[in-house]
Amino acid sequence: MKIIKLIKVIMEKLAERRIAEYRTLIDDFQTEIRNINPKGIQEPHIPVFGDYYEKCKYKLVFCGMETLGWGDLKDFLEKDPVSLVTASDYTINDLEYIGWKRNDHATFWGFVLKFLAKFYNADLSDLVDKKYPNILKSFIWANANSVERFEVSAANKGAEFAAWQKVKKASLKLDDINHIINVANPQVIFIVYKDAKEDFFLNDSTLTSAFGLDNNNRKKYLRIDDLEYRYSYYYRRDSNTHIFHLPHPRYMGIYSGIGIDKYIESIISKIQQYHIFESLPHTPEDCCLSEIEATIDKSSIVYKRNFIANLAEFLVKNNSRMAGNELREIFNRNRIYTSYGTPYAEGSYGNRGIHKVLSSVYNYYQSLGDYQTAYNISRAFVNLNDEYAY
């Protein structure tokens, strides 16, 4: 019962972050196109989250080019922005998408299911038969173009091209992978659309301030190209995100002369080579966090108190010091986040500041009469000027 309650709390926090990130974007979109004729135009695709995403060890996003027929824009304009944030989650969580794969060798959903099967050492037939719902609901689905091209659906449904153009322009603010990074902090993003612009997934200007990004000294990214398979790997240092920018599955399966299976083998090989995860799953059951892992709330103040106390003792015994910003990096790298579920910002950011945490933990041990631990903290941690701060 305890683990079920904890998982419920985790999911509620994720839902809150999604609403905070997307409600204004959706509201602005609705306002901007309120007076156009919506006839025949599809609604924008808002990223879809699987119910097991937060419970999964491996945080993955699959991003395609666009939808192929989606909801009615007229209905979208009549709904509340908050409800629209999660309105399409059923497509993953009811496993509706499994019926969308027309084949296994040249479609987006064929690629997704084949990757999940290979990555988790599951039989593809078992996934198609819905045997492992934990795997099938473990990822996020997005599109580089939230609104389809005119000729995909709108042209055949009597839409006005001028109206569609206004909708497309208004939707561009949604076409930014940072919205997903801000909300869910995924470890790996697969963009299976070679024409996706780099601004879609490398633009740091819209990254939340919770990542401590300094726009005056922008952090760079690492890029490695695979010339044989014609795809690129990126490591974004600003958000600790690994991105594979791949061709469309149609190219992989039909025109590359290589095939989707070989592409997936190459990608997984690079995931291992670049040490993106500590280890890869051995069986399908390795998808979810263990009960012990799930019940360890790294964002709780109890966990942080113990972590800081143990680290301070180690530093003092070894006559060493650590700056607050170095502790911040350790916290963020190990997903020890704020109570809001976001990484710690650089310096002090309201109650989220890492220095505020250190002060709070110092005061806690001082109030308990554990003066040795309080002394260790005051001595071990310094500010940017290498001065003892607590």
What's the pLDDT tens digit per position in 26-51? 999 999 999 999 999 999 999 999 99
Identify residue 226 by its one-letter amino acid code: D
pLDDT at 355: 85
Residue where the block lists tokens 């780099």: 198
Determine the average pLDDT of the residues in 10-27.
Answer: 85
Dump pLDDT digits (tens) for 258-280.
999 999 999 999 999 999 998 99
Determine the average pLDDT of the residues in 238-255.
Answer: 94
pLDDT beyond 50 at 210:
no
pLDDT beyond 60 at 217:
no
pLDDT at 53: 95
Q: Using a pLDDT cut of 90, give the percent of the chain over it.
A: 68
Dump pLDDT digits (tens) for 286-331.
998 755 455 567 778 888 998 999 999 999 999 999 988 889 888 8
pLDDT at 244: 98
- Residues facing residue 191 across a β-bridge: 63, 245
pLDDT at 299: 78
- Reading the block at residue 295, the tokens are 């019940």
Q: Which residue has the higher pLDDT, 296 or 101?
A: 101
pLDDT beyond 60 at 240:
yes
pLDDT beyond 80 at 204:
no
pLDDT beyond 70 at 79:
yes
Highest mean pLDDT among 39-48, 212-221, 303-312, 380-389: 39-48
Q: What ranges do the domains of the chain cover?
A: 2-291, 297-382
pLDDT at 9: 45
Determine the average pLDDT of the residues in 99-119.
Answer: 95
pLDDT band at 379 (very low <50, low <70, confident <90, very high): very high
pLDDT beyond 80 at 242:
yes
pLDDT beyond 90 at 225:
yes
pLDDT band at 345 (very low <50, low <70, confident <90, very high): confident
pLDDT beyond 90 at 19:
yes
pLDDT at 316: 93
pLDDT at 14: 85
pLDDT band at 191 (very low <50, low <70, confident <90, very high): very high
pLDDT beyond 90 at 339:
no
pLDDT band at 212 (very low <50, low <70, confident <90, very high): very low
pLDDT beyond 60 at 205:
yes
Determine the average pLDDT of the residues in 65-77.
Answer: 96
pLDDT at 33: 97
Average pLDDT of the chain, as a whole number: 88
pLDDT at 218: 46
pLDDT band at 2 (very low <50, low <70, confident <90, very high): very low
pLDDT beyond 80 at 388:
no
